[in-house]
């Protein structure tokens, strides 16, 4: 600050514009600027005082909070973009960069869960498990500690899929929603999950928020083991 004042004094005319949070530093700059005859505009001081009077709350007086918020915001945006890019097995290469990989049959809330976790700044990819399609090789090359299998009861999945078909104006008796097909898919998914050795969560009667909390706990415990 002293160097700045000396430079301003040596190169007139100058004006100092300050956005300093800490009052003692702000007052020092104001006093020294006055001594040197350099005009100083204090942007933060009057605003902080006004906010303090309105909200009857003392400011935290901690420099850098805005930048921390910006960093958190950009991390969230990056995680959301990641979830969109690597949703529904679009690009298996994303599995290597993901913090969490969700696997399960169709309609086990993989996408909603991925987006919810992304808002918590986790990079999530998800892979659908379908008997007719082999899972990507990458799924067996990453650590099983970051893979979470999503399981569901046949009856609940039947209900969800029938409702989904009705919402699309389709026949809810289609093979996609039949109990036989659902049991086949769930058995296949179970074999894959056992082969990987990953953690499995039953999402039959769980809200996305509840499942997300369990996922985060599992991942954090896995990181601690590492």
Position 224 confidence tier, pLDDT thresholds 50, 70, 90 = low
Domain range for residue 39? 2-63
Tokens in use for 155? 């009856």
Q: Alpha-carbon distance 150 to 148, whole Å?
A: 6
Average confidence (pLDDT) over 49-56 = 90
Tell me, what's the pLDDT at 37? 93
Distance of CA 124 to the CA centre of its chain: 8
Average of per-residue pLDDT values in the chain? 93
Q: Are residues 149 and 162 in the same domain?
A: yes
Q: Are residues 59 and 72 in the same domain?
A: no
Whether the per-residue pLDDT at 226 is higher than 60: the answer is no
Domain boundary pick from 30, 45, 63: 63
Tell me, what's the pLDDT at 22? 86
Distance of CA 121 to the CA centre of its chain: 2
pLDDT tens, residue by residue, 7-39: 888 988 999 999 888 889 989 999 999 999 999
Q: Are residues 58 and 83 in the same domain?
A: no
CATH number at residue 171: 3.40.50
Tell me, what's the pLDDT at 67? 65
| Residue 104 per-residue DSSP state | E
Q: Are residues 50 and 79 in the same domain?
A: no
Q: Are residues 115 and 192 in the same domain?
A: yes
Of all residues in the chain, what percent carry a pLDDT higher than 90?
76
Structural domains counted in the chain: 2
Q: Are residues 6 and 86 in the same domain?
A: no
What is residue 180's three-state secondary structure?
helix
pLDDT tens, residue by residue, 160-178: 999 999 999 999 889 999 9
Q: Are residues 14 and 85 in the same domain?
A: no
- Looking at the chain, the number of H-run helices and the number of E-run strands are 8, 6
Q: Are residues 58 and 141 in the same domain?
A: no
Q: Are residues 167 and 220 in the same domain?
A: yes
Question: Is the CB of residue 21 less than 8 Å from the CB of residue 62?
Answer: yes
């Amino acid at each position: 600050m002293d160097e700045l004042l000396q430079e301003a004094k040596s190169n007139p005319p100058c004006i100092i514009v300050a956005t300093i949070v800490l009052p003692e530093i702000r007052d020092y700059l104001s006093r020294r600027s006055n001594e040197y005859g350099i005009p100083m505009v204090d942007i933060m001081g009057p605003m902080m005082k006004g906010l303090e009077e309105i909200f009857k709350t003392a400011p935290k007086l901690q420099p850098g909070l805005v930048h921390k918020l910006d960093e958190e915001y950009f991390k969230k945006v990056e995680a959301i973009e990641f979830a969109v890019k690597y949703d529904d097995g679009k690009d298996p290469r994303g599995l290597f960069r993901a913090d969490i990989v969700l696997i399960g049959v169709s309609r086990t809330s993989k996408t909603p869960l991925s987006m919810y976790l992304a808002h918590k700044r986790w990079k999530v990819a998800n892979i659908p498990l379908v008997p007719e399609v082999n899972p990507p090789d990458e799924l067996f090359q990453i650590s099983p500690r970051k893979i979470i299998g999503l399981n569901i009861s046949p009856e609940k999945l039947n209900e969800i899929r029938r409702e989904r078909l009705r919402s699309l104006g389709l026949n809810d008796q289609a093979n996609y929603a039949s109990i036989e097909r659902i049991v086949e898919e769930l058995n296949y998914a179970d074999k894959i999950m056992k082969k990987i050795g990953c953690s499995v969560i039953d999402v039959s009667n769980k809200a996305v928020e509840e499942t997300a909390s369990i996922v985060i706990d599992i991942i954090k415990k896995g990181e601690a083991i590492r």
